[in-house]
Amino acid sequence: MIYQIYPRSFNDTNGDGIGDLDGITARLDYVAKLGVDAIWVSPFYRSPMKDFGYDITDFCDVDPIFGDLEAFDRMLARAHELGLKMVIDQAVNHTADNHRWFLESRSSRDNPKADWYVWVDPKPDGAPPNNWLSVFGGSAWQWEPRRAQYYLHNFLVGQPDLNFTCPEVMDAVIGVLAFWLDRGIDGFRLDTANFYVHDVELRDNPPRPAHMAPAAGAGRANPYAMQQHIYDKSRPENFEVLKRFRALIDRYPDKFLLGEVADDHSPQTAADYSRGEAHLHTCYTFDLLGEDYSAAHVRARVETLERLIDDGWPCWAFSNHDVTRTASRWQRGEVNPDQARMLNALLFCLRGTVCLYQGEELGLPQAEVPFAQMRDPFGLALYPEFLGRDGCRTPMPWQAGAPNAGFSAVEPWLPISPAQSAIAVDKQLPDPGSTLNACRQFLNWRRRHSALITGDIRFLDTPEPILAFERKSADETLYAYFNLGEAEAKIARADLPTQNFFPEVGSAASITAAGLTLPAFGFALGSLTT
């Protein structure tokens, strides 16, 4: 169970309106009491912040807005004191365009780092070498007059892609990972883990058939969604990069590699990347980070990965710093705390590692950020068809009545959401029935049940909008039932193997001779025995 922290928006202790590492340290007691096992800290490295930390100038130093290496060491030490592992983000697919490696590489075609990035000559007519597109919209190729060549950027123009076919690049990245492992971290979350290697023949991506679901990246508002991305990512050669990463991390005891995968066949890619002992320990995909919220969709996505993964280990998330918050993305009618509690319980019951994004334990809705206050380059490029990622990145509301919701003493980098501050931490802590306390209770209860930690998963045939499945380990079998709808739903007794329910972690479900009745957004967990 991993809790994701977005440092810019977690807690500001130095009064600049931006969260910092000491702010994380100050709130780790809160995180530990949730009942999670680890934290994932999004990038805090030196950066020009064009993509708010995912464009890195120095992989081995802390950006001054977040603190310094001593602040990092304090954060790591406190996490370990509280029994929390720490996983840190590594966005090594690319660098910032002011990284010293890139400044040298772009200076000429024959300097020592000339091959550290993906440089390609133009076509005879001066056009880019192929039709590849940036995830953020527009061509993935940017002209560099110093070399009279194009460089590849799968994201912002200011995020040039490293060339992982260059041995010196691979060695340099391994050195970066070793730096943090030697410092004592427990693992890495690898950003864009399927982007490291591209097709060396630079073949055009084919168009995306109309019957295929839109690609990740703002849907049809973004031309990126109009291609099948088979040559610009998820290449077979990418396995060699993952093997090098795994070989390094295996030299350190009890370390962990989590990959982010987004492509047209993400269950297969995630399974391939997680299978065996030569690649990543687990991967999460965007399969449950989209708009579809039906029981059939959730079941199909989970069963597909389970069928493919063999001896691999799944990972699931319902939200993160890149997508609309769950309470708003999957809302039916008004944002409903009952739905938030049910969805958290559902996530915690799936087989595998679970990632919970900061604020989801509160059931936060998506914040409304006016255009004048938007900061996300993705949203600014595609506005108004796509509003970007600012709404899921607004500051964590700690105190409902405090200035800036207790996040900072000054105006934050993104506006405070009134809808979020109304359900701040200090409002929910004293309420036994709050979303926060339901989350804490469930996670601490979950620790005591091996079926939910290591057990297999098998879905039961139930009508929409009910999702039901069995979790079974060597010493116990549990059954979970979730009503994803906004009206009461029932399961007939003949379809109900469960005899005993656990009232401490369910909603107001009732069991009679006729069967199980689940209220709107209700859920229940039970066992075979009475």
Distance CA 180, CA 56 (A): 15
The verdict on whether omega for the bond into residue 465 sits within 30 degrees of 0, i.e. cis, is yes
- Rounded to 5 degrees, φ, ψ at 23 are -65, -40
| Tokens read off for 493 | 């007794």
Tokens of 55: 């464009």
Nearest to 428 by CA among 365, 362, 336: 362
Q: How are beta strands 187-190 and 256-260 bridged, if at all?
A: parallel
**Among 12, 63, 97, 191, which one carries the catalytic annotation?**
191
Tell me the sheet residues that pair with 257: 188
DSSP at 285: -
Query: What are the tokens at 219?
Result: 């849907």
β-sheet with 456-459: strand ranges across: 456-459, 466-472, 477-483, 523-527, 500-501
Residue 348: which H helix or E strand, with range?
A: helix 337-349
Asked if 6 and 18 touch (Cβ cutoff 8 Å), the reply is no
Q: Which of 321, 194, 212 is nearest to 266 (CA)?
A: 194
**Hey, how many other C-beta atoms are within 10 angstroms of the C-beta on 293?**
19
218: left (phi over 0), alpha (psi -120 to 50) or beta: left
Residue type, 51: D
Looking at residue 504, its amino acid is E
Q: Which residues are paired to 313 by β-bridges?
A: 282
One-character DSSP codes across 85-99: EEEEEE-TTB--TTS
Using the CB atoms, write b or e for 67-79: b if 16+ within 10 Å.
beeebbebbbebb
Residue 368 a catalytic site member? no
User: What distances in angstroms separate CA 108 from CA 57, 141, 149, 168, 171, one per listed residue?
Assistant: 20, 18, 10, 17, 22
CB 52 within 8 A of CB 8: yes
Catalytic one of 12, 63, 260, 306 = 260
Sign of CA dihedral 409, 413, 418, 423: negative
Burial 197-214 (b: 16+ CB within 10 A, else e): bbbeebeebeebeeeeeb
Residue 504 bears catalytic tag: no
CA–CA separation, 377 and 398 (whole Å): 27
Active site amino acids: 191, 260
